[in-house]
Structure 1
Amino acid sequence: MTQLSYSFQRAAWQRLKKNKGAMFGLVVISFSVLVALFAYFISPDPSPYANRIILEIGRQKPGHEQTFLKVKKEKEVSNPGLVSWLISGKEDKYYYVPIVGHETKKDSIIIQKFIDESVTERQAFPLSRLDLQQPIINKKFWLGTDTYGRDIMSRLIVGVRVSLSVGLITVIISLTIGLLLGSIAGYFRGRSDNIIMWFMNVIWSIPTLLLVFAITLVLGKGFWQVFIAVGLT
């Protein structure tokens, strides 16, 4: 039996390898899964949901380079563990202040803060508030930034995880509900079957998008609410 099962698997794999479109899809899906698993390790912005907002550099074109001054946050941010970093990312310890020039004094650093293409603001920060190892850094935004100055490439990488998570969890939810209702309808039959089928027909008659909006309004906004809303529809 084991040998027969192995033969079927081998034959299926051989047929799959002959189908170039299927193999290409397999490579894309495998790559997407790896990106989703290690999203915060490879993302230029490892903050939760790649949500580092820098309004001054909003809507920059792909390939934009910007120099930043790293200023410590007033609230102490602890280093997450490896597993926590893998799952949720890590909070920024610093504010990233965009600059176009700087001058170092004895106990402070004076910068020209970038406000707009033609507007700068002179500011001073004590050295005690800076990252002493690397206070000035240069970052390149390969896909540009959005309206809020967030790195689009980082958002795209984390978005792969969100998209795959929505697909996986909603399938689990719909499969669980379907098996439960189907088992009840098949076991009791009669009136129970009719009621469940009537309920399903009513649900299917409602446009999916409107139903998702309605469920989201009831449950509130958030990723888990989206999972439930899509799973129920």
Structure 2
Amino acid sequence: MASEFEHISPSSQIRKRLLSHKPAMFGLIVILFAIFIALAGHTIMPDKTPDANDGAIQISKQMPIFETKILKFRKRLETQHAGFFESIYNGDETDYIITPIDTFRIVGDTVFYKVYGKKQEEEAFSLIYATKPVFTGHSNLLSDDSLHYNYQIKGDTVRYVDIQKRIRTTTLFELKEEFQKENIETRTYWLGTDRLGRDILSRLMYGTRISLMIGTIAVLISLALGVTLGALSGYFDGWIDNAIHWFMTVVWSIPSIMLVIAITIVLQSKGVWVAFVAVGLTMWVEIARIVRGKIKAIKRKPFIEATHAFGMSHWRIIFRHILPNMLGEIVVVTTSNFAAAILIEAGLSFLGLGVKPPTPSWGMMVSEGYSVIGTSNSWHLIVFPSLCISLLVLAFNLLGNGLRDAYDPNTNHG
């Protein structure tokens, strides 16, 4: 029977079948969007500080689409700013400490404000301290008749010692203008805030990078181990096959999360890179089993017998003539392993064995939400990171199903 694909190459047939698989295309779009968020980094995050960690306890557990005025006080120490590319990946330290407020007013050289949600009397803060990086120690650079350490005001003129121990001059008018422009802003927390008053949207976006990174590293480790051990076991018979197969069976019998915990304990460390390695070391068995089974079937084919007749080396036969014939199976299982790695990392972080605070990961955010479950305004702390985990895992599984159907149309039930 004539086929609509008979005049195009096998790779074009696979691509056409994949593009016509709507669930797989949905999964691919979600994955590409997640990759964009991870690569764009802090340039698109509302909170551009390292680890999206700029929060205020006064606005703890606020609901989505929360808006408030933010009063920013200048830090009285030198801030080490990152370069352009480093700031995209790691973020950049802010020069300010934030306080959410209801109202503020300026009288002379003093700022009076009411902290968000509190009904007590106004608090006061020096205008010069709010806007300028004033030196914190005893400099003795100003005359003895200064009313405060390291700054003095005479009429409208303000002299102060900056953090570089240099005397600077400005005016009250300039300070007030700078304060209105730089120290007051209105922030909208689109997905609300966590229990420490940090922006949930920014931390979810940062967590996307963690999930994709751990998936990538874990899959690369599992591919290297799985393909190598599976190829050795499938190609060579005898004691090599028996030993590797026994090892695969032992590892396969241990639950993944328990094996990851054991590896983490053995490495005596917690952190993102340990999590990457631990997850990768638990996911290679499925790849090895598939590679082993396929090689045992392919190595008896006539074209492989011909390579032996030409005197080709075992490694060339395996990597140049056998493995390319099982690329489809490897791609499919690799995609499913991405989803599994994301779930395992989330479980590790939930148990406190994954990335270290304050670096945000979705599993850790679920754990933080779980710790305050039952309190007011807490549902979104669990729901949003859980939705992110579920959506990305679903996307990889849908893409994996689409790739399976594309490489083997006999399994296509779409």
Alignment TM-score > 0.5, same fold: yes
Provide the rounded CA distance (Å) in 1 between the counterparts of 2:211 and 2:271. 14
Specify the code of the residue in structure 2 equivalent to 1:96: I
Assess if the C-alpha contact under 8 Å between 2:75 and 2:96 holds in 1: yes
Match of 2:83 among 75, 81, 88: 81
Match of 1:230 among 279, 298, 306: 279
- What's the CA shift for 1:121? 5.9
Provide the rounded CA distance (Å) in 1 between the counterparts of 2:126 and 2:217. 47
Report the CA distance shift for 1:74/1:211 in structure 2 as closer, same or farther (over 3 A): farther
Provide the rounded CA distance (Å) in 1 between the counterparts of 2:18 and 2:246. 41
Assess if the C-alpha contact under 8 Å between 1:59 and 1:146 holds in 2: yes
Is the aligned partner of 1:196 residue 2:235? no
Provide the rounded CA distance (Å) in 1 between the counterparts of 2:23 and 2:277. 32
Structure 1 portions without partners, runs of 5+: 1-5
- What's the CA shift for 1:187? 7.2
Larger radius of gyration: 2
Provide the rounded CA distance (Å) in 1 between the counterparts of 2:17 and 2:119. 61
**Higher strand share goes to which structure?**
1
Give 2:195's aligned residue. Answer: 147
Provide the rounded CA distance (Å) in 1 between the counterparts of 2:183 and 2:228. 58
Q: Percent identity among equivalent residues? A: 41
Match of 1:110 among 94, 112, 118: 112
- What's the CA shift for 1:41? 0.9
Specify the code of the residue in structure 2 equivalent to 1:36: A
Deviates more, 1:7-16 or 1:223-232: 7-16
Assess if the C-alpha contact under 8 Å between 2:222 and 2:280 holds in 1: yes
TM-score of the pair, normalised by structure 2: 0.50
Give the length in aligned residue pairs: 229
Give 2:57's aligned residue. Answer: 55
Provide the rounded CA distance (Å) in 1 between the counterparts of 2:66 and 2:221. 42
1:109-150, CA deviations, whole angstroms, 9 ceiling, x for partnerless residues? Answer: 222123x46567623133243273411111000110111111
Provide the rounded CA distance (Å) in 1 between the counterparts of 2:248 and 2:199. 43
Report the CA distance shift for 1:190/1:118 in structure 2 as closer, same or farther (over 3 A): farther
Is the aligned partner of 1:70 residue 2:46? no
Provide the rounded CA distance (Å) in 1 between the counterparts of 2:212 and 2:121. 42
- What's the CA shift for 1:103? 1.5
Structure 2 portions without partners, runs of 5+: 1-7, 133-177, 283-414
Assess if the C-alpha contact under 8 Å between 1:109 and 1:127 holds in 2: no
- What's the CA shift for 1:67? 1.0
Provide the rounded CA distance (Å) in 1 between the counterparts of 2:239 and 2:61. 59
Assess if the C-alpha contact under 8 Å between 1:56 and 1:98 holds in 2: yes
Specify the code of the residue in structure 2 equivalent to 1:71: F
Provide the rounded CA distance (Å) in 2 between the counterparts of 1:9 and 1:187. 27
- What's the CA shift for 1:8? 4.3
TM-score of the pair, normalised by structure 1: 0.85
Specify the code of the residue in structure 2 equivalent to 1:54: A
Give 1:3's aligned residue. Answer: none
1:67-105, CA deviations, whole angstroms, 9 ceiling, x for partnerless residues? Answer: 111112233223322211122122222111111111113
Assess if the C-alpha contact under 8 Å between 1:59 and 1:145 holds in 2: yes
Is the aligned partner of 1:159 residue 2:207? yes
Match of 1:98 among 97, 100, 106: 100
Report the CA distance shift for 1:199/1:10 in structure 2 as closer, same or farther (over 3 A): closer
Provide the rounded CA distance (Å) in 1 between the counterparts of 2:44 and 2:18. 30
Give 2:270's aligned residue. Answer: 221
Report the CA distance shift for 1:186/1:22 in structure 2 as closer, same or farther (over 3 A): closer
Superposition map of 1:207-218 within 5 A: 207-218=255-266
Specify the code of the residue in structure 1 equivalent to 2:31: I
**Cα RMSD between the aligned structures?**
2.6
Match of 1:39 among 18, 38, 41: 41
Deviates more, 1:75-84 or 1:184-193: 184-193
Report the CA distance shift for 1:100/1:214 in structure 2 as closer, same or farther (over 3 A): same
Report the CA distance shift for 1:11/1:178 in structure 2 as closer, same or farther (over 3 A): closer
Q: Partner of 2:81: helix, strand, or coil?
A: coil
Provide the rounded CA distance (Å) in 1 between the counterparts of 2:39 and 2:265. 30
Report the CA distance shift for 1:120/1:157 in structure 2 as closer, same or farther (over 3 A): farther
Assess if the C-alpha contact under 8 Å between 1:113 and 1:120 holds in 2: no
Give 2:145's aligned residue. Answer: none
Match of 1:178 among 209, 216, 226: 226
Provide the rounded CA distance (Å) in 1 between the counterparts of 2:129 and 2:88. 31
